[in-house]
A and B are shown apart, each in its own frame.
Chain A
Amino acid sequence: MKRIVFIWLKRWPLNSARLPSQAAQPFGLNVAGSHGLRLAAVSPAAEAAGITVGMSLADARAICPDLKSQPLEPEKSLKALRQLARWAGRYTPWVNVHHIAPSATGEGAEYGLQLDITGCAHLFAHSRGEDGEPAMLLDISERLEASGIEHAIGLGDTLGAAIAVARFAGPIHIIPHDPHGDETRRALSSLPVDSLRLDAKTCQTLCRLGLNSVGALLRLPRVALARRFPVSKDGRDMGGQDMGGAVLRRLDQAFGRIREPIEPIMPVPPLRARMNFAEPVVETDALVLALDGLVADLCRGLGRMNKKMRRMSLWLYRADGAVHRISAGIVAASRDEAHLLRLLSERVKQIDIQENSGDFGIELLILSADRVEEDTASQPTLVQAPASIDFDKEIARLMDRLKGRFHASAGDDYGAGRTPHSLTPQASHRPERAQLSLPVRTCAANDRWGASPGADRQTPIRPFRLLPRPERVQIPDNISADDQRGDGPPLRFLWRHQNVVIRRAEGPERISPEWWPDAQDDARRMDQEGGPSSRDLRDYYRLEAENGQRFWLYYSTPPKDEADVWPPKSNWYLHGIFA
């Protein structure tokens, strides 16, 4: 049986935006409905003045003239809720957000966090054998309190029960574990039917029938409930949109007769190791020291599972609630402590612990093995000398370290940023598409370049460095576009303010555009930069200047809209440089 915690966040939009929810000032957040602005969240002071959620802003102003209000930003509060869910990752990896956006009338919004803490609570026990659940809930509550977040926490065997007690049974309520459901029955029977996540209309109907509490519903025969509130065919009873169908289903969910698993917002790692600090740690060096034990822990766990790691994340929980994540990919799966430690400590040294904060330190470290794979002892083959396996391993480690150092990579013109990459051929005649830069992910050498290195007489020579995009060269004489073509390449041109006089030329080599349309993307990219289209017919020439520079130049058929421009633009582009 699972143990589920539900954290009910009553005024989340106010809390998340750090608006004056606790202050004495009446305050509300409004949504635009069909009949003007309506309130979707109100501060305690406003509530005390008699203002409720769903009231129109005009009415509320009439009751309380100094009510301040601003529009609700649902995306922002959802984003903040997701961040809070990341923070809640310190309790369990199984966390999901519970978010129902307000309707046009401002009502019906729900915010919360669902945590599956099965097997996690003992980490919070103060002594061996003690049940850690109360301590854990207290810890959650204290931390939320410190951040000024209004909350109520329920713990039960099912999500439905946890939600019910969180919302209707006080700030912290624990339903003791009971496989038969008697404890859940006892806890829920006195609660109102609203606690069952039913829509307002159904609740109203039930109350009108005199069924005020969950206990009253439980006393009814199931058949009658099913007949009265049949499950709708498409099963759209989860979001509170559908009138009937929900009651029996919700009851079954609350009592565990229907499974309702929590879908974690982030993939649950197969293995985690955690380290709590008695005092928040501010020094980076101290963190690096602490990593030692953490990595050893994780590696021991991996060893027990006979697994190796391909990807790991280190989560640093700062005392003020900020969460920092470092993730590192590992080229050759490993559980070598020294190597992993080196990767992580390099990254930890880079981060700024106290970014945007005062003296808060790190109070918790969690190291998770995000991707693991079976530990297959590499077997030396007859072809491959054992030494070369060692070499591959060492190179894979080197790549890990380089990745760690140059990790913040934005893609550039060649697809790979600063991370180590290797070159892979691509079947294309377009020079700029003939190679791909792929980040180094595996240590296996790709020999897809095929032919042995060296030139053969059939394939034309290619430059060894290719410019990120072809650059237009200027032809000094103002000859018209038609004449530019002439009988061959230009005898002189201007490139990057350098006057190039050509001594020798070879060509042309005609390269046609590919007929299939997947080049749209780079066509657009090149056009934006004022460069040539990538879907043109090109005649390439190899040129050698008088001083020995060797260029790869091409003539491109002018685009239609440029054909009649005067003075004519040059249609010669420089694309590469020879050794």
Chain B
Amino acid sequence: MDVFQAMDIIKGRSVVAPTGGDIRTNPSLPRGGVQMTPQKAEVEEWAPDLPVWTLGADGVDECLPNGALTISALHEISPMRPLDAPAAMGFIVALLVRLQRGLRRSGRKHILWCSRGFETREFGALYGPGLQQLGLDPSLLRIVRVERDDDVLWAMEEGLGCSGLAGVVGEVADASLTATRRLLLAAGKSGVPGILLRSSGPMAPSAAYSRWRVGMAPSLSPHSDDLRAETDNRAFFPSWQVELARQRFGSQRLDGLGGQQMKWNMVWNYEKNCFHMAETLAAQQCAVA
């Protein structure tokens, strides 16, 4: 099936439902210069087997080209401040959960996480019980821990070349434009998305399709009714400030938003594996109150 057929399916021209979940023959959503933006619901209705990587948050998906993150591409997350790294990592875990949800029919589920010694010492090693509670099955994780950025990038590129994986995550301090382009090419070839956690402060040039900046945000008060109903007055949902700093092929939506900055306060609901907008939640709470 080629891209045009995929488009047909999405637009509803073809009534032949795509068979199987083979990611290699089913390209992900058309991207790049295609002047059409189907709504997420439309996509899922007409092509239920096509992998779609949405965030499931109303305001955010609309800002992405075709209403979803591109699967066969590189995405970059960086913390707003050095202390925000755990928030950025948490956001990555949430993205992975969404990704696995999108890929659930394709049979690919393993994640390669290329961890760096620095992050491990600073913020600790990935901890299975906690990851599980965030919604990511720890048994699907394959972790490599190395010291140097070059090794992380090497391992990521190897991982992106392996089409059996669901995704590859790498923690680096910095990566050159060439390195990110290599990763992007590998991802495009295999259809495995790469997520780069880039800790260096300023936005250096990068080939990533989307670039996010994530910071920590105070969680909503547990005493608000809606959340209490869901969390049993127990835990706070992780909440982050998320900013979509750059993205390729997203210009038409940007115009529509009138240059509004794409910055949200998002709350990760790990019981439902989706994001909430903090404002919506707060509004709901007010309404209930």
Contact = CB atoms under 8 A, between A and B. Distances in A.
Interface in A265-304: none
A438 to B, nearest CB: 11
Interface string B120-148: 11011111111111111111111111100
A449 B218 CA distance: 30
Interface in B140-194: 140-146, 151, 154-155, 158-159, 161-165
A548 B123 contact: no
Given A390-B164, A549-B86, A455 B270 contact: yes
Interface string A467-488: 1100000000000000000000
A413 B161 CA distance: 30
A453 interface: yes
B208 to A, nearest CB: 22
A438 B158 CA distance: 21
Nearest to B119: A465
Nearest to B143: A421
Nearest to A451: B132
A385 B107 contact: yes
A468 to B, nearest CB: 7
Contacts of B125: 413-414, 437, 465-466, 468
Interface stretch (A22-30, A256-264, A400-408): A400-408
B37 interface: no
B158 A398 contact: yes
A495 to B, nearest CB: 11
B135 A454 contact: yes
A310 interface: no
A464 B164 contact: no
Contacts of A434: 128-129
A391 B86 contact: no
Nearest to B219: A544
Nearest to B138: A423
A547 B155 CA distance: 34
A465 B127 contact: yes
Interface stretch (B10-18, B47-55, B66-74, B231-239): B231-239
B49 to A, nearest CB: 13
A452 B133 CA distance: 9
A233 interface: no
Nearest to B230: A457
B164 A394 contact: yes
Contacts of B222: 504
B155 A402 contact: yes
Contacts of B218: 503, 544, 546-548
A405 B148 CA distance: 13
Contacts, number: 222
B142 A464 contact: no
B145 A549 contact: no
B128 A423 contact: yes
B205 to A, nearest CB: 27
Contact of A577 (B124, B132, B142, B145): B124
B164 A454 contact: no
A506 B94 CA distance: 23
Interface in A350-395: 385, 387-388, 390-395
B99 interface: no
Chain B interface helix/strand/loop/mixed? mixed
A422 interface: yes
A393 B163 CA distance: 10
A78 B51 CA distance: 63
B273 interface: yes
A420 interface: yes
A549 B216 contact: yes
A455 B271 contact: yes
Contacts of B135: 453-454
A109 B219 CA distance: 77
B242 interface: no
A462 interface: yes
Contacts of A440: 142
A419 B129 CA distance: 22
Contacts of B217: 548
A463 interface: yes
Interface in B220-252: 222, 231-232, 234-236, 238-239
A419 B161 CA distance: 19
A445 B139 contact: yes
A579 interface: yes
B235 A542 contact: yes
A111 B223 CA distance: 81
Nearest to A464: B130
Given A398-B112, A463-B127, A449 B138 contact: yes
A397 interface: yes
A434 B133 CA distance: 14
B143 A464 contact: no
A521 interface: no
Nearest to A547: B216
Contact of A461 (B97, B142, B235, B273): B235
B127 A454 contact: no
A467 B235 contact: no
Nearest to B144: A420
A576 B124 contact: yes
Nearest to A574: B124
Given A393-B164, A579-B87, A425 B127 contact: no
A440 B139 CA distance: 11
Interface in B10-37: 20-22
A124 interface: no
Contacts of B131: 423, 464
Pick the most buried of B93, B125, B127, B215: most chain A CB atoms within 10 A of its CB: B127
B146 A406 contact: yes
B133 A461 contact: yes
Contacts of A388: 107-108
B165 A447 contact: no
Contacts of A395: 110, 142, 162, 164-165
A327 interface: no
Given A398-B159, A398-B162, A418-B146, A466 B234 contact: no
A576 B158 CA distance: 31
A19 B254 CA distance: 80
B238 A579 contact: yes
B90 interface: yes
A448 interface: yes
A399 interface: yes
A524 B78 CA distance: 38
A394 B163 contact: yes
A313 B165 CA distance: 28
Contacts of A506: 234-236
A455 B97 CA distance: 13
A111 B93 CA distance: 61
A347 interface: no
A473 B110 CA distance: 37
Nearest to A503: B218
Given A547-B83, A549-B216, 15 more contacts: A391-B107, A395-B162, A414-B125, A420-B144, A421-B143, A422-B138, A449-B128, A449-B132, A449-B139, A453-B136, A455-B270, A457-B234, A465-B127, A504-B222, A578-B238
Interface of B: 20-22, 83, 86-87, 89-91, 93-94, 97, 106-108, 110, 112, 120-121, 123-146, 151, 154-155, 158-159, 161-165, 215-219, 222, 231-232, 234-236, 238-239, 268, 270-271, 273
17 contacts: A387-B107, A391-B108, A394-B163, A395-B142, A395-B165, A423-B128, A423-B131, A431-B129, A446-B139, A454-B132, A455-B271, A463-B124, A464-B89, A464-B127, A549-B216, A550-B238, A578-B90
Listed from nearest, the 7 A-B pairs whose CB atoms lie closest are A579-B90, A391-B164, A548-B216, A394-B164, A464-B130, A465-B124, A388-B107
